[in-house]
Amino acid sequence: MINNESIRKLRQMDLSELVDHLEMQEIDNDTRYLSFDERLQLSIDHLYQEKYNTRVKGLIKRSKFRIQDAHFSSVYYEKRDIDRPTLQELATCSFINHRRNVIFQGFTGSGKTFLACALGREACKKEIRTRYIRLPDLLIERDEATLKSKGVTNLITKFSNYGLLIIDEWLLDDVSEEDLKFLFEIIERRYDSGSTIYCTQFRKADWHKRLGGGVHADAIMDRIVHNAVWFDTGQLNMREQLAKTNMT
């Protein structure tokens, strides 16, 4: 076993996982008599996996998902009439590499937020900086940022830099002209540089009117809809379905 001074140096370099694995090797009869190269390879693999897991956990925590435990393995398909192959393709996160957007559209309770959070977790597993936020909360942050010097500019920069941004409750409430200018700046900066997921109850035909019907509506839609994967989450109310399941 390596000496105490070497252990101290490893821990100081934030390599405690390596120390723990070396100590485990010493008491494991299956590994203690392996060659140096074999033991080193095992330790490197273990260290890499532990560091990766820590990074992913941090990304997930900072993403602030509304549904923290949303997983694609838990997606309910029965009687839902959703496009399973497309959903599985989205789970590969290749849409992020191509800077495409995703729009989950469906009735209230149809599982839009769950699917968006599950997709966000897959992005985190690929070490992509991700952030979830409801549109009303984003606008509240904008209002608070107006009280600080360069606050709004800094906020726009912050939300422009995520590899994946999830905006929930998109266009659920009316938006003002000032709101539209703010949203346009974020969308413009993210255009062709990052991917955004929008969760909305409204079909594409309704967007222009809900965005005010003016030039900002034209500009916002032009930067979102032409490069987006539209996914209908169906008409089954998943909250009602889960409630029935929990009662049985």
pTM to 2 decimal places: 0.88
pLDDT at 242 over 80: no
pLDDT at 2 over 80: no
Across the chain, mean pLDDT equals 91
pLDDT at 129 over 60: yes
pLDDT at 247 over 60: no
At 158-215, the pLDDT tens digits run 999 999 999 999 999 999 999 999 999 999 999 999 999 999 999 999 999 999 999 9
180 Cβ contact partners less than 8 Å away, ≥ 6 residues apart? 211, 212, 216, 217, 220
The residue-averaged pLDDT of 140-157 equals 97
pLDDT at 77 over 80: yes
Tell me if 169 sits within 8 A of 66, measured CB to CB. no
